[in-house]
């Protein structure tokens, strides 16, 4: 039997309390994935201190919530595995190299 999944517009993670979210095997909490058009992606990137022209995706974890979030630009779905690694390792390995 499938699970109900609801989709909404926007990226306010405070609004997910009533959603039935999928929790990947081996994880205690869900990971939200937002695939956004250029404008909304740029807004979110700026909100988290990124230069939107330089990135196609980013991950947010431990940000006043138990839900980790991956943001991807609509034409950069190829970055999903890269951003997932940030979530899994819970660190920004770009800065550690």
Residues 5-14 have a mean pLDDT of: 49
Q: What is the pLDDT of residues 25-34, one digit of tens each?
A: 777 778 888 9
SS3 of the chain: CCCCCCCCCCCCHHHHCCCCCCCCCCCCCCEEEEEECHHHHHHHHHHCCCCHHHCCEEEECCCCCCCEEEEEECCCHHHHHHHHHHHHHCCCCCCCC
pLDDT at position 52 over 70? yes
State both tokens at 20: 């039935």
When mean pLDDT is compared over 35-44, 53-62, 63-72, the highest value belongs to 35-44
Q: Under the phi-then-psi rule, with left for phi > 0, alpha for psi from -120 to 50, and beta for the rest, what region is 59?
A: beta
d(CA 67, CA 95): 23
Return the pLDDT at 18: 58
CA torsion through residues 32, 34, 81, 1, sign: positive
71 near 41, Cβ under 8 Å?
yes
């Amino acid at each position: 039997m499938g699970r109900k999944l609801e989709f909404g517009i926007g990226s306010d993670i405070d609004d997910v309390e009533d959603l039935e979210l999928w929790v990947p095997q081996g994880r205690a909490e869900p990971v939200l994935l937002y695939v956004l058009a250029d404008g909304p992606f740029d807004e979110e990137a700026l909100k988290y201190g990124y230069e939107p022209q330089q990135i196609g995706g980013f991950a947010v974890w431990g940000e006043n919530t138990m839900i980790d979030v991956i943001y991807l630009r609509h034409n950069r779905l190829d970055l999903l595995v890269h951003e997932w690694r940030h979530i899994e390792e819970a660190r920004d390995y770009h800065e550690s190299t």
